[in-house]
A and B are shown apart, each in its own frame.
Chain A
Amino acid sequence: MTETTTRAVDHRGLAEPDATAPKTAVITGSSAEFDAAELSPRQINLELRRLLYTEGITEVTLRNPGAKHSLAVGLLTRCRLTIGGSLGYFGVGLIDGPEIHITGRVGWSVAENMMSGVVVIDKNAGSLTGAALRGGDLVVRGHVGARTGIDQKGGTIIVGGNAGSMTGFMMQRGRQIICGNVGQGLGDSMYDGAIYVGGEVASLGVDCVEAEFTEVDQELIDRKFAIYRMPQPDRFRKFVCGQKLWNYDNLEPSERKLVL
């Protein structure tokens, strides 16, 4: 039997021409399971793509991820993925569609630039969680590090514990719901979007102001927390952009000349 290379079937051209998946997964109907302990991140991602794109599997369980970096990245299809353990840096980044459950903890930059889908993390997450998130729900049941949702452009980030400094730095759209305390510089230079905080706020960043918390906000939070079966703190405060830095039309005279 000849080896099937991933490229022949991966219409998205994400794999290199001679990449070969390890084919160690045990497939049962439309679900599959494999052990990642002895595989490199490259091999794990190839195996995942083989299962999801070639074999038409919709439910994958990945065991022993061993805190490796860049696992389950670039998955652009609807599927259900369970990761039994912890991930290193850049886990489940650049995805569009999957529902992913991670039972351990994750390092920096998880779900970076996610377009749609759901990522649920049972333990803590590192810094830059959900950086440049575009859509979908990113749920961390534990604590997160600094700069959560930096440059967030959509979607919802929910944190069960505390968050570090510069949370929501330069966020442009979307929502963050933090149940615990947040560090200094909350919502620094944010353009738009909303950040809900249940605990203490160490300090607000530049041009971040508190806004009225309305029934619409509560309805959203109730709905999200019911989906993920998370307990809510007694009350939330809402923070938004103060719009003092909104100077988009005020070009410098020299810049105006260039534009004209």
Chain B
Amino acid sequence: MCGIAGIIYRGRDGDLGSDMTRMLHSMRHRGPDSTGFALYGPPSDLTVMRFKLADPTDFRDFDFNERLERSRREVESRLAKLGATIDRVQGESDYAYRATFRYDGQLKPLADFVEDVPGAEVLSLGHSLEIVKDLGDAETVAEQYRLDSFRGTHAIGHVRMATESDVDIAGAHPYWAYPFSDVAVVHNGQLTNYHQWRRRLERLGHRFQSECDSEIIAVYIAQRMSDGLSLETAMKQSLDDLDGVFTYLVVTESELGVAKDEMAAKPLVLYESDDLVAMASEEVAIRAIVNREIDTYDPYEREVLVWSR
């Protein structure tokens, strides 16, 4: 089933972490397996990288922690080798980290070099995007990663009921659109031409971290944008290119977009006001942050909508 949610404040920042947590927590019945957030904080000169070195489901032998520590030092030394000046590397949980550093080079070689470290996965990379995802419901994940104090401008989130792949962090949404700075995707649905697109995109040099069909959308959008298309055009093209049922949300540094398949098979409720735009698989999620009677609507089949903050 899965549940997705998005929020964009208009011309201001807000309590993004706690708002998104409330939205996702009210939809926990749609997906109890894992919860993920793609949050946009204030843009910084520094590059922010969220990465993990293990999964909570990994078997923990007696040198587990030592190995993690070795891997973390390896990541740091690799960043330095590529010319990044490290500001901070912080452990966010036993196995997930947040690194900030000054770096002007290409992101793809950096991501590839970091992910070459055993067990490493770059969850997000950019100047304001931070992806946080883990097993459990929204409140569990938000508490684990202390998201209640996160302020920012826009975000998307996802609660997952795993149908197509394993229950682990690699299979959790949102997906970073590797190797694009500050682009992320969440998806509700199933894609039936996943393997075709995966082969096609792998031939173009893209990497996949999971067996999850939703990862295709992130990489597909990234590829189309690198072809020079705007976010909206790329999303419109995806309606013809992707088979199956989907409602997905994409975020960039300044925009939030939604696309719905031609069957309108997966729900989305939209609320627009002067102050914010909020959307979710169920209206209860919007009502969790706007506690009054509101006018909402469902987008129709093959609709693509994009908002700027």
Contact = CB atoms under 8 A, between A and B. Distances in A.
Contact of B298 (A85, A145, A184): A145
A196 B264 CA distance: 22
B267 A107 contact: yes
Contacts, number: 70
B61 interface: no
A66 B297 contact: no
B168 interface: no
Given A67-B287, A123-B295, A165-B263, A107 B300 contact: no
12 contacts: A67-B282, A84-B293, A86-B296, A88-B284, A105-B296, A124-B295, A124-B296, A124-B298, A146-B300, A165-B262, A165-B300, A183-B301
Say which size band chain A's interface belongs to: 20 to 34
Chain B interface, >50% SS class: loop
B282 to A, nearest CB: 6
B282 A146 contact: no
Q: Which has the most chain B C-beta neighbours within 10 Å: A66, A67, A89, A147?
A: A67
Contacts of A145: 264, 298, 300
B201 interface: no
Given A69-B284, A84-B293, A86-B294, 12 more contacts: A67-B282, A67-B284, A86-B287, A104-B293, A105-B296, A107-B267, A107-B269, A107-B282, A124-B298, A145-B264, A147-B264, A183-B300
A211 B88 CA distance: 72
Interface residues of B, number: 19
Q: Which has the most chain B C-beta neighbours within 10 Å: A85, A105, A142?
A: A105
B232 interface: no
A186 to B, nearest CB: 13
A112 to B, nearest CB: 15
A126 interface: yes
B283 interface: yes
Contacts of B264: 127, 145-147, 164-165, 183
B259 to A, nearest CB: 15
Given A127-B264, A184-B301, A89 B282 contact: yes
Nearest to B300: A164
B301 A146 contact: yes
Nearest to B293: A85
